[in-house]
Structure 1
């Protein structure tokens, strides 16, 4: 099949949430008239389905039927099973059970006669058959086929998650029980932390991880609880994702070496076996001084959020394991164990705390005078900066939540900063601005530690730090009318309660200060 020019750009715009722009590109390329091109028809089906996600109930069903027609036409031309099964499922979600059953029956007949689609993986060949069986009401046969599909690719977790979401929607539409999907879900993700210098029973940690089907862990590697849990994760074959509040060498000096024994060697060994390493923020302690509390808070928010995002990606759940010493119920210092336990609990997520006898050396937090956590929004005009656009920008900013500092121009960008506010508030401001200004603007958002300083020229307080540049770079990467946010902002956003949380979708990377640690970019989209 000959590739269609412009399709990658159309898909990129759709993923970023700029659906109107994606549709315009689709139309300008003449693809809406390509009634005999299966690739164009499948792309049309995808765009209509994406539009349906943000529509009301009645409009959603109409759009699902349109998407089903486009996918169905693509499948009839190409013979590919992917558009055919999409057409059958979308017809059901549109409320046309008869059309759905007819399409699924036809697909099953085709599979029986011609066998698997050679363009599909063994997993998706069986999963497609399972979905068609489900649509015709053969639930037991569908379950057996799906179990066989999972057995063919037991670690293809993202594929499993996509299928499970689809099956859950179909079962809900059919009014059938979906509990049989639970054993097929991917492993759970874990946020872990605890007191420094603590020694605990590794066997008890391993048992807990096994009982809770943990497959992915997110946390730091301080001496004590962090390292104990990380070692148990690696021993169990789970993925270990390390999130540090500062550079590796500085963290080792501040949070590992002071506890002596073999902690430094164990820290080094885990760094060599972790699946990813991410340094949250830009601040680092000097010498062997403790890490600043704002750095600890940022890293904790990112670790919690990444655990939640992984669980959402894999259609499973996130949990938390903390190891603390008895009596560790004092003030909730930002980024400390008590604070993390409270933040996780306030978000309504499950977790467990293992309490050990007192005697540890406790947590160490440094000073950070003049340092604040801030979300920075960069608004970049798409075309020439006109007086009319400046007035529209000013009106949009005035009607929203007031930023913590006076809005400022930074080159070709208008910069808004929100200090110590909930990330959900900053996200709501960005979404409201995008809705108000449309394709006249592109928006970027970053979250990091910033230095707060008086303006030497007598103006309002200044915020200095890399978040301004990161937000501007994120904005520059966004299509007109869309919002791109840094990975740390997306993670911190998801660390909060799930209810009302906007959607994010990974769209790519941009180079960071260290090429081994690029900055992730996510599209920010309204709740839906």
Structure 2
């Protein structure tokens, strides 16, 4: 077992590269086992904050607040106090527009309290910026002047401290209207940050707020740009890649990765161009995240083995070097269901977009296409590239491959028509009503009329977008056509129950609904008992295992559901990471998110 110091460094490294969910999982596992280190908890809660999981971070902050009453080293004391202020800032920026100025002032005051107790540029400059955003310009600039004076007296010995000192200097200069000094300080900050991409992202997000309030062009922030994220797509099969053609492709991939300053790549590992992409990324030291449509060994045999042992060896090396975990559309068999490729592709897109959002950078598609006549060949890449760009995201065609020679192994057609009765991707909800089992007999007809009646009215409003709805007792099962519909339906159900006031109908006031949601491939069936179309499969069972661990009044969803929502360009919903937690009935651990409606965006005014 690693020491606490070693574990802290692991968590910090995961945060630096933007893998904030893994950072929280690493920290929380040890904390749940009884570890009392306040520093480990600090870095774990910071990871949650950087994941956008503000409420979850606040829920875990209490032991840190208690620690501040005792003897805590100065540097950790500043960090803990600043973390609380940061969480208040995040609440302000995502909360109701009408309350924003008041909430920003509250966060500014929290930062200023830390600065007053322990004069340090970091809490000081944050207090300055938030006071400015709250409309208190004179006070903000007074603090900024003090921060600049403090920066001039410090000589940090560590690169991380040097970065935050120069970033604070730049932010204070910007608050005072000195753009030239801010630009010079940002250049010095960028030269000392190394590969701490999360630090760059945090500074960019903060300074973008300040630039917006002060009318400053955000091109000033260019020195702090973080590496971009890429999802790569290519035709399956290696028949179009004889050695000289593969070398040409590899050269184009290398140039594209360099020109777009790529740091993180997502994709599958079929023989041919996809493995070439993965190898190029790994040789450059980039982070590779692998998404497979079905279980690994069957994938190897269907998508790699037909092209020979060398491609199998290359597949194995790439998979071993990829950053865990490997994501699967299903860990079960292929069964001829081409829809699994589509599901895996959309999951990869959502994961790439989530990573890009965490690092305040761009997500882009790299595509290798085929030189085929209209109506010929495999069009999976074209289809998915069209979906990506249709969502408004940028894409590059890296290369076009010639058609395979006659007699070459025929790759599996990922876009082939779905087999009759094969799995299709749906979004599912399971729910139950807490307190139902304690209802008296006389209350059951009231429950059916009021609670189930409310369910019915909400579900009917979605029409054919919710093709399956069923209840038994207090249980609720819903199938929606897509994640956006599923999210809207789940939250509409919770909102309707929240306004019902059960006690006014003769029911206990503590009745409450909990809902779990998941998106995945399921079998359509004509249920011979119920007499209508329904869906079944492992992913239905997975959905059912989320509901029992969900708090009353909430909606918990899986990572696959959250990834699907990331593709909603309208941004109507937000998902906040809860943790890697055990599902019900020994189903194993799942990464779970709490689902909410996204706050209405509002411009910051100074």
Query: Fold-level match, TM-score > 0.5?
Result: yes
Shift of 1:16: 5.4
**Counterpart in the other structure of 1:34:** none
1:116 CA displacement: 6.1
Flag the 1:424–1:155 CA change in 2: closer, same or farther, 3 A: same
Instruction: Tell me: CA distance 1:468–1:233, structure 2 relative to 1, closer, same or farther (3 Å).
Output: same
User: Which residue number in structure 2 is paired with residue 77 of structure 1?
Assistant: 117
CA 1:59/1:248 → structure 2, altered by over 3 Å: closer, same or farther?
same
Change (3 A) 1:284 1:171: same
> 1:37-436, aligned counterparts within 5 Å?
45-46=85-86, 48-79=88-119, 81-113=121-153, 121-197=161-237, 198-199=240-241, 200=246, 201=248, 202-260=250-308, 262-282=310-330, 284-285=332-333, 292-327=337-372, 330=375, 336-353=380-397, 354-359=399-404, 361-365=410-414, 367=419, 369-381=421-433, 391-392=450-451, 394-396=453-455, 398-399=457-458, 400-402=461-463, 403-409=466-472, 413-418=475-480, 421-436=481-496
CA-to-aligned-CA distance 1:226-264 (integer Å, 9 cap, x gap): 112112212222211110001110100111112336221
Question: Relative to structure 1, is the Cα distance of residues 512 and 341 closer, same or farther in structure 2, using a 3 angstrom cutoff?
Answer: farther
> Secondary structure at the residue paired with 1:456?
coil
Match of 1:487 in 2: 559
- Per-residue deviation, 1:497: 4.3
CA distance in 2: counterparts of 1:356 and 1:234, whole angstroms: 22
Determine whether 1:464 maps to 2:527. no
* Structure 1 residue 285, shift from structure 2 partner: 3.6
- Runs of 5+ unmatched residues, structure 1: 32-36
Please give the secondary structure, in 1, of the residue aligned with 2:490: helix
Q: Is the 8 A contact 2:229 2:262 kept in 1?
A: yes
Q: How far off is 1:319 after superposition?
A: 0.9
What is the correspondence of 1:491-502 to structure 2 with a 5 Å cutoff?
491-494=563-566, 496-502=567-573
Moved more, 222-231 or 104-113: 104-113
Report if aligned partners of 1:45, 1:71 keep a CA contact under 8 Å in 2.
yes
- Go from structure 1 to structure 2 and tell me whether the alpha carbon gap of 1:292 and 1:382 turns closer, same or farther (over 3 Å shift): same
Tell me: CA distance 1:268–1:157, structure 2 relative to 1, closer, same or farther (3 Å). same
The SS at the match of 1:141 is helix
Residue number among 505, 511, 514 corresponding to 2:576 in the alignment: 505
Contact kept? 1:195, 1:323, Cα under 8 Å: yes
Q: Is this contact kept in 1: 2:581–2:592, CA < 8 A?
A: yes
SS of residue in 2 equivalent to 1:95: coil
SS of the residue 1:223 aligns to:
coil
Are the counterparts in 2 of residues 326 and 356 from structure 1 also a CA contact under 8 Å? yes
The 3-state SS of whatever aligns with 2:128 is helix
Structure 1 residue 481: deviation in Å?
A: 3.6
Residues 152-191 of structure 1, C-alpha deviation per residue, up to 9 Å, x if partnerless?
2321111111110111111111101111323421111111
| 1:452 CA displacement | 2.4
* Preserved CA contact (<8 Å) 1:405 1:417: yes
Q: Deviation string for 1:285-321 (max 9, x for gaps)?
A: 46xx7x5211111110111111111111111111111
Q: Which moved more, 1:231-240 or 1:360-369?
A: 360-369
Q: CA deviation at 1:478?
A: 4.2
User: Which residue of structure 1 lines up, in the alignment, with residue 523 of structure 2?
Assistant: 451
Asked whether the 8 Å contact 1:250–1:284 carries over to 2, the reply is no
Hey, what's the Cα distance between the residues in 1 that align with 2:470 and 2:355?
Answer: 35
Q: Give the C-alpha shift of residue 112 in structure 1.
A: 3.8
The 1:274–1:86 alpha-carbon spacing in structure 2 relative to 1, beyond 3 Å, is same
State the secondary structure of the residue aligned to 2:468: coil
Contact 1:285 1:292 (8 Å CA) reproduced: no
Distance 1:204 1:426 in 2: 41
Count of aligned residue pairs for this structure pair: 511
What is the alpha-carbon distance in structure 2 between the residues aligned to residue 167 and residue 329 of structure 1?
A: 49
In structure 2, C-alpha distance between the alignment counterparts of 1:284 and 1:328, rounded to whole Å? 35
Task: Return 212-221 or 232-241, whichever deviates more.
Answer: 232-241
Maintained 8 Å contact 1:346/1:497:
no
- Specify the SS of the correspondent of 1:272: helix
Kindly state the Cα deviation for residue 357 of structure 1 after the two structures are TM-superposed: 1.8
User: Structure 2 vs 1, CA of residues 15 and 344 (structure 1 numbering), >3 Å: closer, same or farther?
Assistant: closer
Shift in Å, 1:323: 1.4
Call closer, same or farther: CA 1:471–1:138 in 2, change over 3 Å.
Answer: farther
Q: Give the structure 1 partner of residue 22 of structure 2.
A: none
Partner in structure 1 of residue 598 of structure 2: 527
Q: Aligned with 2:321: secondary structure?
A: coil
Contact (CA 8 Å) 1:406, 1:460: kept in 2 or not?
no
Are the equivalent residues in 1 in contact too, given 2:112–2:127 (CA < 8 A)?
Answer: yes
Distance 2:80 2:192 in 1: 31
2 CA distance for matches of 1:181 and 1:298? 36
Cα pair distance change 1:228/1:30, threshold 3 Å: closer
CA distance in 1, matches of 2:193, 2:78: 28
Per the alignment, do residues 47 and 135 of structure 1 end up closer, same or farther by CA in structure 2, a change over 3 Å counting?
A: same
- Which TM-score applies when normalising by structure 1? 0.83
